[in-house]
Amino acid sequence: MDQLTRLMPDEMVSVREVFNLDSDLKVAAFREADEHVPEVDPAYRFNHDVTLAILAAFTRNRRMLLQGLHGTGKSTHIEQVAARLNWPCVRVNLDGHINRLDLVGRDTVVLKDGKQITEFQEGIVPWAIQRPVALILDEYDAGRPDVMFVIQRLLERDGKMTLLDQNRVLDLHPGFRLFATANTVGLGNLNGMYHGVQRLNHAQIDRWNIVAALNHPPAEDEIGIVLARVPELDDAAGRKLVASMVAVAKLTRDGFRVGDLSTLMSPRTVITWAENIGIFGDAGKAFQLSFVNKCDEAEQPLIAEYFQRCFDRELEAPRTSVYLPAEPHPAAAFAVAAG
């Protein structure tokens, strides 16, 4: 229980220095890191608005929901802020199979001194709320309704948590912070891209103090992110290449928005593509293997068009398409004669 002795953050750091953002804010941080503090990624690039929102959530104890399309780095963003504040941080993935007992804890049979006894084992939630820990609930909108109501009490800043099986009431630690990330804002799977997400109870959404959106970064930022991840491309030719890759990604996102595509390139895919260029030595080949093959066959000719626009060469691929009819059936030749 040594963490319980570290009650609260013990120093103030300048946002300008630590996060390289244009702001005079000072935020609370811990002087020393412990085992739960994530690793600092020096290449990480912070989004200005979202970073300020996350810092507000840390410093002013606000509950924060971060929404955005897949692969935009929502959880990583919170983690990297926590890493620089030395704030311990735990991530829980709320997939459809996590149930209430997993979060709260349950009675289990254990051996103690050679005898079988039942003992209550705390779940992640009681553990986290008694410590100065930032709990990140990933895939918040995929969580099942019964799980949501466990969380509901935690969302109130001065809420207490009752363990019914134990007749215990737990106070929230003042250093406890709660974050969630989601692909949708609780409206459900509207565009068919996120199967398994739930429509959220509005009483839930209402209790989040800050709701921020992290979507695809502007092109210059995205180029920076990719170059930071794949530094071997960081020369004049490489920059040009990455700019074109990001332009393709943007076209897929616009194509998705207007309804031509059912898949879009996330920044994560762009990074994978850049890494695969190192392996296969050719942008077209790597594109085929990192993104095109994930798409519906009927949409591949269109993606090849996007590629042509940004690279001024054709994407060499088997361009099978539903628009082109298959070879006529051999028996079809008889039809004319008979008709």
Partner 1 sequence: MASLAEQTEQAETERAEASSRQLAAASLRRRKQTLELCAAAMRALSGQGRLHFRGPALYRESAPVPMPAPHLHPGTDSTDLDAFRGAADGMALRLQHSDAALHGSLCPVTPARMLVFEMLEQFRTESLVDAAMPGVRANLNRRFQQWSREFEASILADTDLGIILFTVAQVCRARITAEPMSPDFEARIESTRAELAPHLGTHLAALRRERFSQPGFARHALSIAETIAAISEVLEAREARPSRSGGRAPQFQLLFDQDSNDDAVPTAGYGGSDALDSGEGGYRRFTTAYDREFQATDLVRAELLCGYRQQLDDHIARQGINVPRLGRALGAVLSTAIHDGWDGDALEGRLDGSRLARLVTASGDRRVFRTERTEPRSDATVTFLVDCSGSMKEHSAAVAALVDVYARALELAGARCEVLGFTTAAWNGGRAGKDWIRAGRPPNPGRLNEVRQLVFKDADTPWRRARPAIAGLMKKDLFREGADGEAVDWACARLSGSSGNGGRGSNGSERRILLVVSDGSPMDGATALANDGHYLEQHLRDVVAAHEAAGTTEIFGLGVGLDLSPYYRRNISLDLSRGSSAAVVGQVLAMLAGRR
**DSSP states of 113-181:** TTEEEEEEEE-HHHHHHTSS-EEEEETGGGS-HHHHHHHHHHHSTT-EEEEGGGTEEEEPPTT-EEEEE
* Max Cα distance, the chain (Å): 92
Q: Which two tokens stand for residue 26?
A: 């000072």
Q: Is 294 in the site for partner 1 (CB under 8 A)?
A: no
Residue among 243, 289, 295, 317 that touches partner 1 (CB under 8 A): 243
- 205 burial via Cβ count (<10 Å: 0-12, 13-18, 19+): middle
CB of 306 to partner 1, least distance (A): 7
- Residues 197 and 268: their CA atoms lie apart, in Å, by 21
Asked if 315 and 292 count as a contact pair (C-beta separation under 8 A), the reply is yes
Q: Is 219 in the site for partner 1 (CB under 8 A)?
A: yes
CB of 322 to partner 1, least distance (A): 4
Residue among 41, 102, 260, 275 that touches partner 1 (CB under 8 A): 260
Could you say which residues in the range 94-113 bind partner 1, by CB under 8 A? 99
Q: Which H or E run includes 93?
A: strand 89-93
Q: Which stretch binds partner 1 (CB under 8 A): 14-22, 171-179, 208-216, 306-314?
A: 306-314
Q: Which is nearer to partner 1, 145 or 174 (CB)?
A: 145
Q: Is 22 in the site for partner 1 (CB under 8 A)?
A: no
Residue among 25, 193, 310, 317 that touches partner 1 (CB under 8 A): 310
Q: What φ, ψ does residue 264 adopt, rounded to 5°?
A: -140, 160
CB of 316 to partner 1, least distance (A): 15
Q: Is 320 in the site for partner 1 (CB under 8 A)?
A: no
Could you say which residues in the range 169-198 bind partner 1, by CB under 8 A? none
Residues that bind partner 1 in the complex, under the rule CB under 8 A: 99, 144, 219, 240, 243-244, 246-247, 251-252, 254-255, 257-260, 262, 298, 301-302, 305-313, 321-329, 331-336, 338-339
